[in-house]
Amino acid sequence: MKSTNKQNVVLGIVAVAIMAGIAWVTLRGTSEPATDTAAISKSADVLSPTIFDDERTRAAYQVAKDIPEVLEQLPCFCGCMTSFGHKNNLFCFKDQHGSGCTLCQDIALDARKMLARNETFSDRGSLTPQYRL
């Protein structure tokens, strides 16, 4: 009888260890950085710049196509985050909202300029100083 109890305890410990291992493998997150395919899929959601006549609007939509990972990090201050449920500036260019909002366009075009100059948002006093452009 003693031998059976020992076996049950050992089997119980092994079962718990196996279940913990399965849970760890299932629930652990990936630490791999985003790949170019992630940026491509984000830019695929952006409306084509060619559908707009205005040069400035086309340029802003092109920025959203070119650097979606940057616009995704930028909040929008025109009110669309509350009124349209946009999560960031990139969302402004997934629909036609960005075509009629100069503030959304300004954010995108400024981001492109800052990226070209290799500025950080902290250089301009932004809310997100950790993101380097």
Report if residue 54 sits inside a domain: yes
Same domain for 95 and 46: yes
Same domain for 119 and 92: yes
Which residues does 27 contact at the CB level (< 8 Å), separation at least 6? none
With tokens 């503030």, the residue in question is 103
Report if residue 106 sits inside a domain: yes
Query: How much is the pLDDT for 36?
Result: 53
Same domain for 65 and 93: yes
Q: What is the pLDDT of residues 100-123, one digit of tens each?
A: 999 999 999 999 999 998 876 555
pTM for this prediction = 0.61
Please give the tally of structural domains in the chain. 2
Q: What is the pLDDT of residues 117-132, one digit of tens each?
A: 887 655 555 444 344 4
Higher pLDDT, 69 or 12: 69
Structural domain harbouring 69 = 36-124
pLDDT range class, residue 14, cuts 50, 70, 90: confident
Same domain for 45 and 25: no
Of 57, 70, 46, whose CA–CA distance to 126 is shortest?
A: 70
